Structure 1
Amino acid sequence: MRTRRWIFSAVMRLLLRCLRIGQRHRFWPTQKVWQLWLYGRLCLRSLLYNSFTDSDTVLDALFEPVYWLVDHVTRWFGVVFVALVIILTSSVVCIVYVCLLPLILRTYPLPWIFWHFIYGHWNLVMIVFHYYMAITTQPGYPPQQSKSDVAAVSICKKCIAPKPARSHHCSICNRCVLKMDHHCPWLNNCVGHFNHRYFFSFCLFMTMGCIYSSISGWDMFWEAYAAIEKMKLLAKERLQMTVNQTYGQTPPPTFTFHQRAFHKSVVYAWVLCSSVALALGALMIWHAVLITRGETSIERHINRKEKKRLQKKGKVFRNPYSYGPLGNWKEFLGVDANRHWVTRVLLPSTHPPKGTGLSWDTTPCVPEQKTALLAI
């Protein structure tokens, strides 16, 4: 009896062992794939995990190829943009000297001739001077030595060097820039601490010159436009006479090459000046607002995010680099008791801005807010 029971138990154990072995061999590939999937997901999360990741970070990562293409195109086409500015500005100046100035000297009274001569040349000198200075003046760069006396608030992950407050890395110039505002392709240069005033002054005087040209040339523009329409109408009449072969009729009068070139040049100059006045005027007003607030274009984006973050905590955001509207303009223009704004702003001046751009005096604010801003 015991022998039968022992044999039955041994057979059952052997059968269960065979079923277990078959089950292991049957589901072994599935278990292996599942283990690999868990391991790969863990590795991916460990490599890409970031507690600061948000929608902006994801969008930046997705648009990184686009940013790379724009940066390289802007870097190589910067010289083309500068040449385009010089060519367009020179063309308008040539039209004024060749076409409009002789007409002004013949038809305008002496006080208006004096006004146009003085104001036009002053505006032209200010435009050329500030554009040249904005191109040739370096925006300012922090020292590249890792061991320096610069009060750095962070380390640039691309330069691997100390990054002072208000400085940012320019992907086009491939280096950090002090108080960086943006990279301007029309200057082929970054707008930073040492050339920000030249850039804004160029935008201001260029806008003033375009508005002056558009207003003073309004009547000339409509006369030239009417003459061009008349030329088109006469050209159609001549073509119709040629088709109908009415040689006995008197052909309509024709405009000379000088007259056609004169009218087309006036229309071209007025349209170009009006377009630049609208586009550049909007940019100038935007930068004037930023200067009044004591921030740059990059800091505007950072301050908005910081303001929203503090609002969620029930706190009020204050810009530590703002000294009030008047104080911000004095700081930007470098005007103080020893340097008057008339000689520094209304005349060509190469005076540098206040400070070195490596450190900044901050206004009193909440320590948490100040630390958060400096860390960004």
Structure 2
Amino acid sequence: MDFAFSEEQQMFRAMFRDFSAKEVAPKAEGIDHEERPPLDVLRKAANQGFLGATLPEDYFGAELDYVSYALLIETLAGDCMSTAVTLATHVSLVAMTILEHGSEAQKEDWLPLLAAGEAIGAFALTEPDAGSDAMALQTRATPEDDEVILDGVKTWVANGDIAGLFLVFAQGPEGVEAFLVPKDTPGLTVGYREPTLGLRGMTFNTLYLEGCRVPQANRLGGPGDGCEVAQRAQDRMAIALAAAGLGVAEASVDVAAQFASERVQFGVPIAKKQAIQDYVAGSLIEVEALRYLVYHAAWLADQGGDFSFDASIVKAFAARVARTVTNRMLQVLGGYGYMEDYPMARKYRDARALGIIGGPTELHHVRVAQRIFAERDLEIAP
């Protein structure tokens, strides 16, 4: 089996690294400390085609394969996870969902705007009483003539503060449905921004829908297709988040290894101490294992089949690796790792989010278990 990147993928990776080093890394600390969305970075990313990374050229996208897209998210996350996950929400959850499930009119209306960064996409699925049980939605979609009236409350809406387009899920007469709702739609109000431990450059908001009318033509997919639409979007996002976990874990090893080479205690660099070697070597082994899971899952996504099982595996593993590696590498830095003046504190806080966003690790374990026991004719409920 050939795991080598193509010449084109190698070229893309070099371009991503150059962009991130010049445009993302210098701003990462400010984005985190000031808790501000990376709007300037997103504008420059749009100029490079990254906001339409996987969209076809017909819609002014870069038409990257999913492996190359994973490399983009990995690279950005190594410098700033807030930027990486903001972009992944826009591309994986919104733009790609329109591409896969949208009508031709919806694609023509929105994909060029999303690719150009003229509209940022936000994903509105979670509700106060519908978290892991995401389909237990209370938001209602009531048909009236050629319109649909949306009423309900959404929480943890990623990109809420900066979005121009919301992908909203609601209970319709035939089941869960998905709707494209522009930000300026009457009855839509972006509310409270959640303060978070990490990913402080991202915005997670409460969204209020009160008599919010949208055309029936804004429904994404057919009546009752919302569960399928949401699941496909979340599977794509799981791979992107795993790539982000790879990026932050890999970068943390680099930071700690450099520190250990320079930090002198007891007359020698601490890298010469076996305990430090065990921490760094063990972490790199886990990073390399994650790397091939990420690239394999991204490759499966490129094949166009069902990659849901592998998406859950890689997301769960990435959350664990990112958390344990950043924790160990913070320990290597000691007191310096605990200081906000050094990047390890931010990386540790950001990595912790991966066990929660995009579905908690426990839910992905259930999905993996469901596949295992389905082969033995045993049904597993969440």
Higher gyration radius (CA)? 1
State if a TM-score over 0.5 links the two structures: no
Normalized per residue, the structure richer in strand is 2
What TM-score comes out, normalization by structure 2 length? Answer: 0.31
